[in-house]
Amino acid sequence: MNANDLMSPQVVVARENTNAEQISARLLAGEFNGVPVVDNNDAVVGIVTAIDILKAIREGRDLNNMIARDIMTPNPSVVKTDTPIEQIIDTILEKEIVLVPVVEDNNKIVGVVARLDIIRQKLNEGFITIGKREGISRT
């Protein structure tokens, strides 16, 4: 099993000039554990997590007057689509991160793998789905 099997292919990313307060609102709403930050070529250049937001608040910075580039953690750990699950887990544990962006060779983002994606996959290994689920019709 590798990153391609685990990743969420629909990922919301922020551009380097996205307002930090908007990113904070997304994180607060619980939609995401972190937001990858990309350049104009969709290459990953950073990531913004709740920790980054907390650091900015602790420093007394005004989130409304900041952009992603101001608060992001630059050069985050990334994995390729063929990175084995064991290596992804090692990266998450060693770096103490919640998610890791999945990139192509040019560092262009194609998805993310979060801790919960790995756990969900492992929990579902003992189950299979047989047949189609159809609605019940009543006459």
Give the chain's mean pLDDT: 88
Which position has the token pair 């009543």?
138
Structure pTM? 0.82
- % of the chain residues with pLDDT over 90: 61
Q: Find the farthest-apart pair of alpha carbons in the chain and give their distance in angstroms, rounded.
A: 66
Four-CA torsion 106, 52, 35, 40, nearest 10 degrees? -50
User: SS3 of 129, please?
Assistant: coil
Per-residue pLDDT, 139: 47
Per-residue pLDDT, 27: 87
Q: Does 80 score more than 60 pLDDT?
A: yes
DSSP assigned state of 81: T
**For residue 51, what is the domain's CATH number?**
3.10.580.10
Residue 131 lies in a domain: no
71 and 62 Cβ atoms separated by less than 8 Å = no
Total domains in the chain come to: 1
Per-residue pLDDT, 136: 56
Q: What is the mean pLDDT of residues 56-61?
A: 95
Question: What's the sign of the alpha-carbon dihedral 50, 66, 8, 75?
Answer: negative
Q: Does 138 score more than 60 pLDDT?
A: no
Determine the residue type at 52: D
Residue range of the domain that includes 71: 3-124
Per-residue pLDDT, 95: 92
Residue 57 lies in a domain: yes
Residue 116 lies in a domain: yes
Q: Which long-range contacts (CB under 8 A, 24 or more apart) does 127-131 make?
A: none
More confident position, 136 or 19: 19
What are the φ and ψ backbone dihedral angles of 17, each rounded to 5 degrees?
-100, 15
Q: Does 29 score more than 70 pLDDT?
A: yes
Per-residue pLDDT, 134: 59
Residue 69 lies in a domain: yes
Residue 31 lies in a domain: yes
Residue 129 lies in a domain: no
Residue 71 lies in a domain: yes
Residue 134 lies in a domain: no
